Amino acid sequence: MSEKIVCVIIGQDCRNYIDMCIESVSDADAIVYLDGGSEDLTIEYLFDRNFRDDLNEGDENKNIIYNEFDPSDSLMISKQRNFYLEYLKKNYKDYWCLVIDADEVLDSLEPFRKLLNDNEWNGNEIFNPRMRHLINNLITEDATKPTHFVPRRFFKITDDKFYPNGEHTILKSKNEIKNLNFQQGLIWHLGYLGGSWDIKKRFDDQILRKESNEHPVEYLNQWKNVHVFGQYPVRQFNPIELPEIILGKFGVEKDMLYFAQRKLEIKHPEMVKQWNDYFKPTGILDLGCGRGCYLKYWKWFVKDYTYGIELSNFAVNNAYCKNVINGNISDESIYEKTDLITAIDVLEHLTNDDLDKTLKNMTKYGKQFLFSIPFIGDPNLEADSTHIQKKTKEEWINLIESYGIKIKETPNDWLFQEQILIFKKEVN
């Protein structure tokens, strides 16, 4: 029997964020939202999403609970946390709980489910998910540490757990616990996107509760000043790493970011010329062809039956040539017999299931095959966060040959020959 997960969200006047937050945890078994006294449209939004409370009907697995937040109460943070914890003990005992704030977005719940399904836990473990703090904009994050972990946000709901009184209170237990960092579980924090006024409000609230605050006033003043004067340590990152939920909120397509970096380059016609001289193909199928950077030049050499398959609507609609078809390369129905099938920087993006289906399709419908794959040891493999498959060159060769085709030597004078594999179907 698989473990169940309830997500607790803490918020107040958070309409700007709550839609992203709720969507990011929508596949949890239950969601509980603790409101501290919202006066904006937060609660109305939740009712529209079929949440319920004591006065309103809705989904029994989506609940709103209320506890007025008093910013002058030095113990208010711990009171809020114990309030939802007691509610969880009464209604979701033995579930696993993930706690996030309303200005946070979960990257994916899947790593948390995998953590539970792939291991046996006794309930004394408390996990610290990884957190990335966005600072001021969508391409800059907190650089004060190489990796940030937010303490004790994922745990099993049992009677022994409690929050001690205090400002920055963290979950504790009457029993001995294991406190474990969880690298694969990622939460994006958006609280510092609002600018100087939001920084000032956070500072003022902390000063109000200074009696219980573990940070002295001198520290809080320094924290405020480095933020408002732009001196806080930050680093830039590739926005392609952001979840689609965040990008969509700002009207940005992830595919647009990804494929905007993949433009026509002088290497494309040079590489196609080398490949054509070697294979002398009568037809080309380019899998995961993107905007058709290679297909555009294949038409110089191969006049008949040259086309590509691409999943991204953006790439298809902005292709450099007309023969790009929208489709999933793991779907056999879009394949036809052809001489040469290429898969350039594609296989490493596929799940195990899609990889198996794609290799079966390729070897069924093609005669010759060309792959470009970043292997373990190639910096490009880790540079792209969308890469799923991470194998050595030997592992890739063994895998592909298991589908009934044989490896051939890659010419040494080819561009990027170190990551190119050639295979041919054996003729009986």
Nearest to 288 by CA among 220, 242, 346: 346
- Architecture field, domain 260-425: 3-Layer(aba) Sandwich (3.40)
Kindly report, residue by residue over 75-112, the tens digit of the pLDDT: 899 999 999 999 999 999 999 999 999 999 999 999 99
> What are the structure tokens assigned to 107, written together?
């990257």
Task: Report residue 356: phi and psi, to 5°.
Answer: -60, -45
CATH among 1.10.10, 3.90.550, 3.90.700, 3.30.310 for 5-252 = 3.90.550
> What are the structure tokens assigned to 398, written together?
């063994």
Q: How far apart are CA 141 and CA 125, in angstroms?
A: 29
Domain boundaries, the chain: 5-252, 260-425
Task: Report residue 200: phi and psi, to 5°.
Answer: -60, -40
**428 residues of the chain, pLDDT tens digit each:** 589 999 999 999 999 899 999 999 999 999 999 999 999 999 999 999 999 999 999 999 999 999 999 988 888 999 999 999 999 999 999 999 999 999 999 999 999 999 999 999 999 999 999 999 999 888 999 999 999 999 999 999 999 999 998 767 899 999 999 999 999 999 999 988 866 556 666 677 667 655 555 567 776 677 677 666 777 788 998 888 899 999 999 888 888 888 877 789 999 999 999 999 999 999 999 999 999 999 999 999 998 778 999 999 999 999 999 899 999 999 999 999 999 999 999 999 999 999 999 999 999 999 999 999 999 999 989 888 788 999 999 999 999 999 999 999 999 999 999 999 999 997 65
Which DSSP symbol is given to 132?
E
Q: How far apart are CA 293 and CA 297, in angstroms?
A: 7
Kindly report, residue by residue over 140-187, the tens digit of the pLDDT: 999 999 999 999 999 999 999 999 987 678 999 999 999 999 999 999
